[in-house]
A and B are shown apart, each in its own frame.
Chain A
Amino acid sequence: MYSKKIIEEFTNPKNVGIIEGADGVGEIGSTIDGDVITVYIKVEDDVLTDVKFKTFGCVVAISTSTMVTQLAKGKTVEEALAISNEDVQDALGGLPKGKDRCSGFALDALHKAIEDYRSKT
């Protein structure tokens, strides 16, 4: 059902955690719906120097969360905003049918974190 890459990312997620004093925080979902993804970003000179996440959710929610943080880290704000759902899915070796909708949640959380950052600057 899941690609080896998804299982690898799910079992060994990178960038798990909270950034104290984050420049931006974005949260998507609720426990009533099932998934809650929170993305934290640190921005220096318009570059996302650190990106971390906390995710309550399924295999896809966790694996896309870790992949989004890896793809976004080191990019400029504009480059991070340009990361697409397809980019995330490709990096994970594809998602099973019916689960593709889930991959957008982590990106949405990243976008909200950037929005939060921009609202403060």
Chain B
Amino acid sequence: MKRIYMDHSATTPVDPLVVDAMLPYFTEKFGNSSSLHSFGQEAAEALSIARGHVADSIGAQAEEIIFTSGGTESDNIALQGVLSREPEKRHHIITSVIEHPAVLSTCDFLKSTGHDVTYVPVSSEGIVDVGDIERAIRDDTVIISIMHANNEIGTIQPIEEIAKIAKDNGVYLHTDAVQSVGKMPVDVDQLGVDMLSISSHKLHGPKGVGALYVREGTRLNPVIFGGGHESGLRPGTENIPGIVGFAKASSIAKERLGTDPAQMGRLRDSLIKKVFDTIDDVRLNGHATQRLPNNANLSFRHVEGESMLMLLDIAGIAVSTGSACSSRSQHASHVLDSIGLDPDYIHGSIRISLGRENTMAEVDYLAGALQETVAKLRQISSPVKC
């Protein structure tokens, strides 16, 4: 049976061109970039070139890129790094209720160390109100961290407007752009952010590598300690094969920005139309247009997400769900809860995230499989009573 992958917000397959670029750095060009001999300098040169490519993909300068182990570490360095430099009287953070756990859990930790956090709500379409952020700013506010695009419902936040407010108030602005880079144009100057997190494996690069963009002049402390790698901000021998692969993936994603998002958007819109034409009691979560081109988060009444996911998997299609049982947790997605979705719908939610390799035939197959799956599960459940 052919398997169809539609969970690209979780991770993406590594592009074969990326693999080709990485391979020599495992065996032939394996040096430590800190070493002075030729092996080391070969690695150092690759690191320098890679830094330039990643910077170029987001309109940054090479020296503003700090390589990390991925988006989670980038988020941690951004928040903890800035706050640890601040005098005790400045300790306030503003973030949103729908951030990724990499930000929310860091905020929880920072609260435990005496910082204060304001969580701004989102609309029923999953968008933060810029006015809420402005009103949340206090004299002791240090940083605002609002994600560029949400990982579950794909909504795109008004970062440019938030940046103006942050700048006017002398507050740092960080954005987690793990889901948006590679899916839409991302330019740090246009956005006006001070820090921006990227993850390689979300854009057809290898896992375990990412970057934090740090605007020149932004002062951070490291959160782990060691040598002087990555401007002293992220010590540890650089993962050269991973970084080379990440850089290649970033370059490819930038080159394909003119085609990939438009193609994914066509597939997504076709899928949504087919689902709404053939299945009753369904909702599209998030904003109708202000969303990533590859994301469709759908909720079906009277069915449960994990059951849907399993039946689709049996049909050869991989999607994900924010439903209670899917993560062996009894809690529903905090994002779907935050947009005020009715519990009847929250538990029947699936996230379909398309990639550059998906086709219209696959979307048609998914639409048919969804119709059968929902009908079968509704027959097992009790629509009258649920």
Which residues on A are within 8 Å of B, measured CB to CB?
2, 7, 10-11, 13, 16, 18, 27, 31-36, 38, 54-62, 96, 98-99, 102
Which residues on B are within 8 Å of A, measured CB to CB?
302-304, 306-307, 310-311, 314, 323-326, 328, 330, 332, 343-344, 347, 379-382, 385-386
CB pair A31–B347 under 8 Å, yes or no, is yes
CB pair B328–A16 under 8 Å, yes or no, is no
CB pair B330–A56 under 8 Å, yes or no, is no
Q: Can you sample 22 A-B contacts with CB below 8 Å? A: A2-B310, A11-B314, A13-B380, A18-B382, A27-B385, A31-B347, A31-B386, A34-B325, A34-B332, A34-B347, A36-B381, A36-B385, A54-B381, A54-B385, A55-B382, A58-B304, A58-B324, A58-B325, A60-B325, A61-B304, A62-B307, A102-B325
Note all chain A residues with C-beta closer than 8 A to B344.
Answer: 31
Given contacts A32-B343, A34-B325, whether A58 and B314 have CB atoms under 8 Å apart is no
* Complex CA distance for A57 and B382, rounded to whole angstroms: 10
> How many A-B contacts are there with CB distance less than 8 Å?
72
Note all chain B residues with C-beta closer than 8 A to A34.
Answer: 304, 323-325, 330, 332, 347
CB pair A59–B385 under 8 Å, yes or no, is no
Task: Choose among A56, A58, A59, A60 the residue that contacts B382 (Cβ–Cβ < 8 A).
Answer: A56
CB distance from B172 to the nearest CB of A (A): 39
* Complex CA distance for A98 and B310, rounded to whole angstroms: 18
CB pair A56–B304 under 8 Å, yes or no, is yes
CB distance from B209 to the nearest CB of A (A): 28
* Complex CA distance for A87 and B343, rounded to whole angstroms: 32
CB distance from A106 to the nearest CB of B (A): 13
Given contacts A55-B382, A58-B304, A58-B325, 20 further A-B contacts (CB under 8 A): A7-B310, A10-B310, A13-B380, A27-B385, A32-B343, A33-B330, A34-B324, A34-B332, A36-B385, A38-B385, A54-B381, A55-B380, A55-B381, A56-B303, A57-B304, A57-B307, A58-B306, A58-B307, A59-B310, A59-B325
* Complex CA distance for A31 and B302, rounded to whole angstroms: 9
Interface centre among A35, A54, A60 (most CB of B within 10 A): A54
CB pair B379–A16 under 8 Å, yes or no, is yes
* Complex CA distance for A34 and B345, rounded to whole angstroms: 10
CB pair A56–B325 under 8 Å, yes or no, is no
Note all chain A residues with C-beta closer than 8 A to B323.
Answer: 34, 58
CB pair A98–B328 under 8 Å, yes or no, is yes
Note all chain B residues with C-beta closer than 8 A to A32.
Answer: 343
Note all chain B residues with C-beta closer than 8 A to A13.
Answer: 380
* Complex CA distance for A2 and B72, rounded to whole angstroms: 30
Interface centre among A10, A31, A33, A60 (most CB of B within 10 A): A31
CB pair B302–A56 under 8 Å, yes or no, is yes
Given contacts A27-B385, A98-B328, whether A62 and B380 have CB atoms under 8 Å apart is yes
CB pair B328–A36 under 8 Å, yes or no, is no
* Complex CA distance for A59 and B328, rounded to whole angstroms: 12
- What are the 5 tightest A-B residue pairs by CB atom distance, in nearest-first order? A54-B382, A58-B325, A56-B381, A34-B324, A98-B328
Note all chain B residues with C-beta closer than 8 A to A33.
Answer: 324, 330
Note all chain A residues with C-beta closer than 8 A to B380.
Answer: 13, 16, 54-55, 62
* Complex CA distance for A58 and B379, rounded to whole angstroms: 14
* Complex CA distance for A55 and B306, rounded to whole angstroms: 13
Note all chain B residues with C-beta closer than 8 A to A98.
Answer: 328
Note all chain B residues with C-beta closer than 8 A to A11.
Answer: 311, 314
Note all chain B residues with C-beta closer than 8 A to A96.
Answer: 328
Look across to chain B and name the residue whose beta carbon is closest to the beta carbon of A16: B380
Note all chain A residues with C-beta closer than 8 A to B343.
Answer: 31-32
* Complex CA distance for A90 and B381, rounded to whole angstroms: 24
Note all chain B residues with C-beta closer than 8 A to A61.
Answer: 304, 325
Look across to chain A and name the residue whose beta carbon is closest to the beta carbon of B381: A56
Note all chain B residues with C-beta closer than 8 A to A62.
Answer: 307, 380
* Complex CA distance for A16 and B378, rounded to whole angstroms: 11
* Complex CA distance for A57 and B306, rounded to whole angstroms: 8
Look across to chain A and name the residue whose beta carbon is closest to the beta carbon of B325: A58
Note all chain A residues with C-beta closer than 8 A to B302.
Answer: 56
Look across to chain A and name the residue whose beta carbon is closest to the beta carbon of B380: A16
